[in-house]
Amino acid sequence: MSLGLPIRRFDALVVGAGGSGMRAALELARADLKVAVLSKVFPTRSHTVAAQGGIAAPLANSSDDNWHWHMYDTVKGSDYLGDQDAIEYMCRRANEVVVELEHMGMPFDRLENGKIYQRPFGGHTQDYGSAKMAMRACAAADRTGHAMLHTLYQQNVRTNTQFFVEWMALDLIRDPQDGAVLGVTALEMETGEVCIFQAKATLFATGGSGRIFYASTNAFINTGDGLGMVARAGLPLEDMEFYQFHPTGVYGAGVLITEGVRGEGGYLLNKDGERFMERYAPNAKDLASRDVVSRAMTTEIKEGRGCGPEKDHVMLKLDHLGAEVINHRLPGIREIAIKFANADPIRDLVPVVPTVHYQMGGIPAKYTGNVVVPEGSNNESIVPGFYAVGECSCVSVHGANRLGTNSLLDLVVFGKASGEQVIKDARTMPGAHRTLPKDAGDYTRARLARLDSNAAGERVVDVLTDLRRAMQAHCGVFRFPDDLVLGVQKVKEIAERSKRTFIKDKSKVFNTARVEALELDNLVETALATIVSAEARKESRGAQARADFPSRDDKNWMKHTLWYKEGNRLAYKPVHLKPMTVDSFEPKVRTY
Amino acid sequence: MKLSIYRYDPDKDAKPYMKDYDVELEHSDRMLLDALVKVKNLDDSISFRRSCREGVCGSDAININGKNGLACVTKVADLPEHVTLRPLPGMPVIRDLIVDMTQFFKQYESIKPYVVNHDAPPERERLQSPAQREELNGLYECILCACCSTSCPSFWWNPDKFVGPAGLLQAYRFIADSRDQETAARLDNLEDPYRLFRCHTIMNCVDACPKNLNPTRAIGKIKELMVKRMV
């Protein structure tokens, strides 16, 4: 207790038990390492569970396909901001990791010949962007994330992985000598106990931060915890301006309706009953990339062709697919549409609107999971002992816009790869843990003490609501220069207010008010990173569409943003245009 | 909307009590979870679990006017004006609407919830016909919310000995999987006066399941297999 907090020591610590954290944990279980997995929620409650449409792999079960085409689609989808070496790595390992999931028992749907069922998805093409779609999305009905997350949890039950459930990681601990990561402080929700988890390898798999926006498909728990911890520890966040709006969130509720419905043949209509995507993407139509479809929908609404009394949404048409396809391939969607939109897709149109869905940016990492930051002349110097995977990381395989079904693939490819890397690095790690700095727990204790002692201040819910509304209003599908400037100012003011939050509940036992106050700190950092980076990037690329700079500017902006909390400082680093073994895909005008 | 909510914080309360709340709902507050969030905005000390808010993560199972369900997919419009909320029955309460699920997950783990196949894995996927895959429908969709097991009197009495409907539904999910080779061992694991046979087909589980799954049917199929291998 010399540091004022109890210490638990492990070889490796995984923070987060969604798809990537559990895939990494599974890899680590195979080595002779002492591993702990921390999670805010019971593992099967993680947000991976909500993924619907599929996981990408060029298995070629239903159409010609190969990893080269998958790679091309991913590079093009990223609007050429993705790192081509990492993208090659992911696409080359896709079949391997998906087949492994099947061997683990994941209940994929099947074709008549017994192979995994695959469906078309947005931006998935044959022969380097031809008009022919590739059937690449491996699906378990429209519950692919649920099937995958449960399978990964089941495998971790089998390997006896040590989970610390309902423990929230609070702050990163670094060695002041070389910046190495030594572990985290964490709070046990049930008891209020705070302790230090020290590890030779700390792997963040903490997920996204979609709750910074008012309308989001994301779960309550997606509060950017890993990103907040990283920012407070002085490390940068990469490409945070790129936030994906999913075309089909249920109007008014935000709940996701998978792109798989359009893969199965569904399409979008405006108030005139026009299939408007034919005008915006003559080849791919409703299966263009998500950023393209979301912009088209927003344009339709802005130009007065939206549906409903407020003309503020469009309609998704599925009734022509027939009850058989809907009940068999899209049963979860039917359930959601009936519950959240009072519409049965077998006979009704479903009201939808572009809704915040996925964070392309995150903690700068390599395809090995190693976190990398600029150091002197080296743009990508490895932070010893620190790894990041999944949505919290920026590898960057998604660049400025992620393709549907590449998120689940990202989780398992890089979950596995980072596990392999930790095992490799562990061989050269010294036997003993390093000495923790004397003040290792002080920062966390000060944060908690403030919440425990404050007798008055700002209500967490008020600050949170203002933050989410500001992000929604100032950093949407289309971004306007004055809005962005004002938005930066507003979010900075809100960040100041977040330092004065106050909770009435002072209980030690399962104090969710305290948890929400601590989450707000993480949301604030993530929102600042997003809007400051967005304001600074003077071009349109992928998910960032600026009214004043409507085109992509490869000459000046083919580079990754790095945002630092201190002074909201920005730096930039080049995109990896060179793949591992094949020729580069040169930037082209992006049409679908 | 009027809500009576079970409150208990062991840090300060000698015993549990019910507290009434009156919340003003807006047009966008469709679900009971929206109402609960409104209550928390009034009184930050009320604790409950929630995450996906769309019925797939299984966090917010509670007892609503005597019936177990998920707050996030329970429509306010389908509820009476006065609603009573309690934690899931039969489980130790940690605080307010949050229960200790340890025993529930222990039972789930006890059925070895993973496919076991002793053959060397092929280079590609193991084949499974659509008909074989169909056998898993109605089983694999379970979200482990515990609505079923905590509505089952047999589970209330013997949570340490009776696997309960959720665990048994999953036991059958792996028996039914054409890729699994451990049916005999799985049946052995349930051949016990308590683990399987405490199910008296009361069928509260079927009524409680928010995903419309049918644990009783799965339990019946396991019992059938038990009988079959005896004759």
State phi, psi for B120 to the nearest 5 degrees.
Answer: -60, 135
Residues from chain A contacting residue B177 (CB–CB below 8 Å): 105, 107
Q: How far apart are CA A166 and CA A161, in angstroms?
A: 15
What does the pLDDT average to over A342-360? 96
Q: How far is B146 from chain A (nearest CA, A)?
A: 13
Contact A220 B51 (CB under 8 A): yes
Q: Does B178 touch chain A (CB under 8 A)?
A: no
Q: Does A332 touch chain B (CB under 8 A)?
A: yes
pLDDT at residue A17 greater than cutoff 60: yes
Residue closest to A406 by CA, chosen among A148, A137, A140, A226: A137
Q: How far is A588 from chain B (nearest CA, A)?
A: 35
**Residues near A567 by beta carbon (within 8 Å), at least 6 away in sequence:** none
Q: How confident is the prediction for chain A on average, in pLDDT?
A: 96
Q: Residue A396: is the preceding peptide bond cis (ω within 30°)? A: yes
Residues from chain A contacting residue B41 (CB–CB below 8 Å): 461
Q: Which two tokens stand for residue A535?
A: 């304001």
With 0-12 CB in 10 A as exposed, 13-18 as middle and 19+ as buried, what is B171? buried
Q: Does A111 touch chain B (CB under 8 A)?
A: yes
Tens of pLDDT, residue by residue over A437-447, are 999 999 999 99
Q: How far is B48 from chain A (nearest CA, A)?
A: 8
List, as ranges, residues 141-200 from A with C-beta within 8 Å of B: 143, 146-147, 150-151, 154-155, 157-158, 190
- pTM of model > 0.80: yes
- SS3 for A147-189 is HHHHHHHHHHHHCCCEEEECEEEEEEEECCCCCCEEEEEEEEC
Q: How far apart are CA A142 and CA A380, in angstroms?
A: 38
Q: Does A109 touch chain B (CB under 8 A)?
A: yes
State residue A4's pLDDT score: 81
Q: What's the pLDDT band for B28 if we cut at 50, 70, 90?
A: confident
* CA distance readout (Å), A292 to A354, A365, A481, A543, A552: 11, 27, 21, 8, 14
Residue closest to B210 by CA, chosen among B40, B48, B12, B62: B62
Least confident of A109-113, A148-152, A251-255, A419-423: A251-255
Contact A143 B143 (CB under 8 A): no
What does the pLDDT average to over B69-96? 97
Tens of pLDDT, residue by residue over A199-254, are 999 999 999 999 999 999 999 999 999 999 999 999 999 999 999 999 999 999 99
Sign of the C-alpha dihedral computed for residues B225, B226, B230 and B231 taken in this order: negative
Q: How far apart are CA B37 and CA B46, in angstroms?
A: 10
Residue type, A74: T
Tens of pLDDT, residue by residue over B121-144, are 999 999 999 999 999 999 999 999
> Closest partner residue to B127 among A115, A503, A510, by Cβ?
A115
State residue A3's pLDDT score: 62
What does the pLDDT average to over A469-478? 95
Q: How far is A505 from chain B (nearest CA, A)?
A: 5
How many CA within 13 A on the CB side of residue A299?
12
What does the pLDDT average to over A43-56? 97
State residue A30's pLDDT score: 86
Tell me if A159 sits within 8 A of A37, measured CB to CB: no
ipTM: 0.98
Task: List, by residue number, the catalytic residues of A.
Answer: 290
State residue B55's pLDDT score: 97
What does the pLDDT average to over A552-566? 98
* CA distance readout (Å), A463 to A432, A483, A501, B37, B119: 44, 20, 8, 15, 56
> How many Å separate Cα A216 from the centre of its chain?
12
Q: What's the pLDDT band for A2 if we cut at 50, 70, 90?
A: very low
Q: Does A221 touch chain B (CB under 8 A)?
A: yes
Share of chain A above pLDDT 90, in %: 98
State residue B230's pLDDT score: 86
pLDDT at residue B164 greater than cutoff 80: yes
List, as ranges, residues 115-144 from B with C-beta within 8 Å of A: 115, 117, 121, 123-130, 132-133, 136, 140-141, 143-144
Tens of pLDDT, residue by residue over A315-332, are 999 999 999 999 999 999
Q: Does B152 touch chain A (CB under 8 A)?
A: no
What does the pLDDT average to over B24-39? 94
Tens of pLDDT, residue by residue over A256-290, are 999 999 999 999 999 999 999 999 999 999 999 99
pLDDT at residue A1 greater than cutoff 50: no
* CA distance readout (Å), A555 to A400, A536, A539, A551, A570: 16, 16, 11, 12, 19
State residue B224's pLDDT score: 97
Q: Which residue has the tokens 């209509």?
A: A269
